[in-house]
Structures are given as structure tokens and as C-alpha cells.
Amino acid sequence: MSATVLAGKPIQEAILAEVAEGVRAFTATSAPSSPPHLTAVLVGDDPASTIYVRSKTRTCRELGISSATLRLAATTTTEQLLDEIAQLNADPSVDGILVQLPLPPQIDEKVVLDAIDPRKDVDGLHPENAGLLAQGRPRFVPATPAGIIDMLERLEIEISGKHAVVVGRSEIVGKPMAALLLQRHATTTICHSRTADLGAITRQADILVAAVGVAGLVGPEHVKGGATVIDVGINRVDDRARLETLLGTRAAGADWARFEERGYLVVGDVRPDVADVAGAMTPVPGGVGLLTIGLVLVNTLEAARRRQAAGERDLV
């Protein structure tokens, strides 16, 4: 038995095609004729954040979305960043604001995220948007859990009546993921670092979402036969012995060639040999991570539509 691979690429392409169509329709009806606009705020020079923002900018251009990147020094203070956000909040030409995380340690992340106008919070992390999601009337949903639900629904993987287990309780993935599953009538359990006998709970899951950022935490012993396993983990491992343990016989020559070239490999929270037990599972890389930018742009388009309906974009 080998699990069906739930590749992110076809889902990504479908989401982006729908966003592009929506942007064309929006721009045709906006007055004056202008596309949705997203501003990303990048503080410092974190390599992963820089790559993500560059990819976001390229995707926006391809879909017809206007975008800008506000680059700030790594020494920026909380107060300075709040001033910049206040200006973006007040700018009627800006539909979405994305503050790229993580922020430098001297910046109070919660204060900054709370300061974003919730109507422009396309990451879905403002307390108002989190509260709306918890009540089952979401405005903007964090991109990764939204992408997972999108994937499950497009692939017609049944959620209603199933037992879903989410491993991880972060504000970005774990908690909103659990809320979305619950709203789709799954019996939902959240596990975390203090859960006793993790495997006893995860083996009950028809849908298992691993989102803790611990390489190879979930093995075959944690998984019910035939379960759908969603791996959210993105972990860089630079120790060859550790990789050999995680990948086992599933490591290919190409994997080790990449390791020799880069000095690391990216692996998930789920070990590859889970494919011997699961019915379906997402790969890392190539799984739900591909959907993140697309869902941020779904939220950006929705923000523009809401602001147009409220008449605010007439000020642009």
C-alpha cells in the first residue's frame, strides 16, 4: 500500500486562475479602473521572508494585482513600524496589508498585528478576524488552513462526520485549522506539546493535520490505516545522520545530491514512510506550502471587493 500523493501544484494553479478571473472582473467594474492593491511590509533581511515577498510580488504581477513592498531596516522599532502601518491603514488605495513574519526581536509582534486595520488584514491574524472565524462567519482566514480546506474540498475528501486531529495550536495554523474543520462538521481534536500519548489520539484521526514544526514527529505508528494526512511542516535539516533516520529507504539519489549542493534538505513534520499506512498525504516540499500565496491573494481580492461595496475605493 502506498498513499495517494496530494500534490499542491494543481490546486495552486486552480486557485490562481480563479483569482486572475476575479481581478479582471473587479478591475472592469471599479471606478476609476484600478486593480486590488497589496502592500507587504518587510522588516530586516531574513532570507526566507525575502524570497516569499519576491514570489508574492511576481505572482501579483502575473494575476494583475497591484503590489508594493515596504522595506524597513532590521533596527526598526515598534513605534516606527506602527507609524508606517497607520499610513497604510489611512491610504484608500491599499486594500491589503501583509506584515511579513517573523519580525526582529525588538518589535512587539502582537502590538503590530493588532494595529493593522482588520478590513485590510489579509493574513487573518487580527483579533477581530480571529473572533469572526471562531464564530463561524469569517472575513479573512489565515492562508495555510484556508488552503488545506480548499484542497480537501476540491479533491472531494469528506470532512463532515469524520474525526479530524490537528497537531499544533498556533494562531497561524493550528487554531484556525481546528475552527474550519469544526465548522464543516468534523469531530475535531487539537493536540500539542503537552498532550499525553500523542499516538493514541492521532491514530483515531480520519484526517490528520501536522503543524508543529518538528521534523519527522509523525510516523506510521501515529497514523490510522487509510487516513488523510496533511503535512504543514517546513523544516530545514542539515545533519545527514538525522536525515537518514527521517527519510530511511525513501531517500533518493536526487535527495542526497540536493543535500550536498545546499547543505540541507527541507522535510515535513510527517515521515515519508507514513505513506505505507495513510490513504493519502501531502508531500513536503510540493504540498500545502504552494497554496499560501494564492490564499493571501484570495483575501486581497475579497478585501478590495468589500471596500468597493462600502464605497471606500471611490476615494482613490
Active site residues: 56, 100, 123
Q: Do 169 and 190 contact (CB within 8 A), yes or no?
A: yes
Q: Distance between CA 81 and CA 41 in Å, rounded?
A: 9
DSSP letter for 100, please.
P
Q: Which three cell numbers stand for residue 303?
A: 478585501
β-strand 265-267 against 280-281: which pairing, if any? unpaired
Query: For residue 20, which of 68, 67, 60 has the smallest C-alpha distance?
Result: 60
CA dist 226 and 204 (Å) reads: 11
Residue 111 three-state SS: helix
* DSSP-based helix, strand, coil % in the chain, nearest 5: 45, 15, 35
- 215, 217, 203, 211: which is closest to 278 by C-alpha? 203
Polymer length of the chain: 316
Match 502582537 to its residue by C-alpha cell: 110
Half-sphere exposure of 88 (CA within 13 A, CB side): 29
Residue type, 161: G
